[in-house]
Amino acid sequence: MKALVYHGAGVKAWETVPDPKILAPTDAIVRMDTTTICGTDLHILKGDVATVAEGRVLGHEGVGTVVDVGAAVTNHKVGDRVIVSCISSCAVCSYCRKGLPSHCVGMGGIGWVLGHLIDGTQAEYVRTPFADTSLHGCPESLTNEQAAMVSDIYPTGFEIGVQYGDIHPGDVVAVIGAGPVGLAAIATAKFYGPAKVIALDLGRSRLDRALAMGADIAVATSDDDWVDQVRAHTDGLGVDVAIEAVGIPDTLRGCVAIVRPGGHVANVGVHGVPVELPLDTMWIDNLHLTTGLVNTTSSQMLLSLMEGGRLHPEEMVTHRFTFANILDAYDTFSRALDHDALKVAIHRE
């Protein structure tokens, strides 16, 4: 089969690799019909994730068709259309039972294995461990592109941004970074009744998309006075919750600069380098700081909201490619601002 293979920092290739095989009775083999690229894949390609070995097939998102199952798989059968979750979960270890499958013991202590520790979804076929609890049946009413957004970005924005950020009715929420995950946080924050959601980004087109997807106010971080602009919308106090959805030191420090005393900074972005924070002032401001790897425990709920028309994941997909053009897809996604790109959908045909 063909797959997108990582060959070290800055090097990737669409090449022929061995077909995946069932290795455990809980495995399934899925023919990938639609996949996409995550910002984490770009971090891997920059060399930021040292645990990814050369020769690894990248990718942890997508929708496909089951073509083979292990003897212990009962929830899915050959021919089923399924969503591949970015987190693989045994569902029975202590972490899974606590709602933390991101640290599944059955997967060796980390639930994110696809495209990380084992071969991933940017391929014609993928082996999915613990298929019964790591694949989701794809609702007939959702397209592949819509459903693929439940693999990672919507659960990540919702769980690590909105839920970890502990949004309450009447709060003022700022989201720095109006890329796919930031937009997912903006779209789902409304379920907790914030008074205002402020979107912040460098790109004007992304700010326009944020307004269309539920933000009330847009502020360009390219403006020298962007911190003052945010504070002006909060009577000078600062926001209650600041969600970081970029993954660079400046944006995390920016969240600290705009949050009020007693407020909450929820870091969602994947950081490739350490970040120095002003703990000498944060402690006395009683700030809360959370971060984490998504657990995807909200996936079924998000699917229900999409089926009910309460969320519109199709708004995320801006560019489409075939598997044969996956390198072009990477070029577009890696220069997202130049191409006005959010998610790129990569289809079998």
Model confidence pLDDT, tens digit, residues 137-195: 999 999 999 999 999 999 999 999 999 999 999 999 999 999 999 999 999 999 999 99
CA distances from 274 to 13, 182, 270, 325 (A): 29, 21, 11, 35
Residue 264 backbone phi and psi in degrees, to 5: -130, 130
In this structure, are residues 294 and 159 in contact, taking their beta carbons and an 8 Å threshold? yes
- For residue 45, what are its two tokens? 């390609």
Residue 65's Cβ-count burial label (10 Å; 0-12, 13-18, 19+) is middle
| pLDDT value, residue 349 | 84
Q: How far is CA 276 from the centre of its chain?
A: 24
Give the 3-state secondary structure of residue 29.
strand
Q: CA 258 to CA 237: how far, in whole Å? A: 8
Among 329, 303, 336, which Cα is nearest to 141's?
303
| pLDDT value, residue 223 | 94
Q: What pTM was estimated for this model as a whole?
A: 0.96
The continuous run of DSSP H or E covering 196 comes out as strand 196-201
Q: How far is CA 58 from the centre of its chain?
A: 15
**Can you say whether the dihedral through the CA atoms of 218, 317, 293, 165 is positive or negative?**
positive
Q: At a CB cut-off of 8 Å and minimum separation 6, what does 188 contact? A: 154, 157, 158, 161, 162, 302, 311
How crowded is residue 252: how many other Cβ atoms within 10 Å of its Cβ?
Answer: 23
Q: CA 86 to CA 112: how far, in whole Å? A: 6
Mean pLDDT in residue range 21-26? 98
Domains and CATH numbers, the chain: 2-152+296-347 (3.90.180.10), 155-291 (3.40.50.720)
Model confidence pLDDT, tens digit, residues 76-134: 999 999 999 999 999 999 999 999 999 999 999 999 999 999 999 999 999 999 999 99
Model confidence pLDDT, tens digit, residues 285-327: 999 999 999 999 999 999 999 999 999 999 999 999 999 999 9
Residue type, 89: S
In this structure, are residues 136 and 300 in contact, taking their beta carbons and an 8 Å threshold? yes
